[in-house]
Amino acid sequence: MPLTGWLILDPLIAFLVAANIVWTGIRLLRETGSGLLDASMPVTERHIIMDIFTTYEKQGIQFHALRTRVAGARRFVSFHVLVPGEWSVQRGHTLCEEIELTIMQSLPGTYVLTHLEPLEDPVSWYDQNLDRTTNITKD
C-alpha cells in the first residue's frame, strides 16, 4: 500500500531510509571495530614521550625500541633505556623508575614498561625492531 500515493515518492523515501540504515551500520562498525583493535598512541602523545627522552639524552642516556599502543581507554608504552655499563643495577633501576613516573604523570592512565641495557654492549642494539634480524650469539 503506497504511503503517499505518489508513485515516484514512495520508492525514493524507501531508498533514503535504506541508505541511512547502511550509513549508520558502517559508522557503528568503524567505531566498535577501532575499540577492538590496538592502535599506536597519537602523534602528540608520542611527542611528549620524545620530549621526556630528550631531557635524559642530554645526560648521556639513550633510548630505542619505543613502542606505543592504545587499547580502549588504556595506553601502553615500552622502550629500552641504555645507560653506561659501569652503572650499578640500583642506579639504572632508579633512573628507569624516574622516567616511568615522569611519563605516567605527563600521560595519566599510561602503563610504562622499560628494559635496561648497557650502552657499550653491541647486543643492546640488536633488538631495536620487533624482529631480531641480527645474530645475537655471544662468544
Domain 43-125: CATH superfamily is Cation efflux protein, cytoplasmic domain (3.30.70.1350)
Q: Considering only CA atoms, which of 54, 108, 56, 34 is closest in space to residue 77?
A: 108
> How many CB atoms sit inside 10 A of residue 103's CB?
21
Render pLDDT for 51-79 as a digit per residue (tens, 0 to 9).
999 999 999 999 999 999 998 788 999 99
Q: Rounded CA gap, 41 and 76, in Å?
A: 8
Give the pLDDT score at 92.
96
Task: Parse the chain into domains and list their residue ranges.
Answer: 1-37, 43-125
Question: Which parts of the chain sit beneath pLDDT 50?
Answer: 135-136, 138-139
Give the pLDDT score at 132.
54
Residue 94 CA from chain centroid, whole number: 24
Give the pLDDT score at 7.
73
| Cβ(99)–Cβ(134) below 8 Å | no
Give the pLDDT score at 138.
46
> How many CB atoms sit inside 10 A of residue 22's CB?
10
| Cβ(41)–Cβ(73) below 8 Å | no
Q: Considering only CA atoms, which of 88, 83, 87, 91 is closest in space to residue 56?
A: 83
Q: Considering only CA atoms, which of 102, 137, 132, 100 is closest in space to residue 116?
A: 100
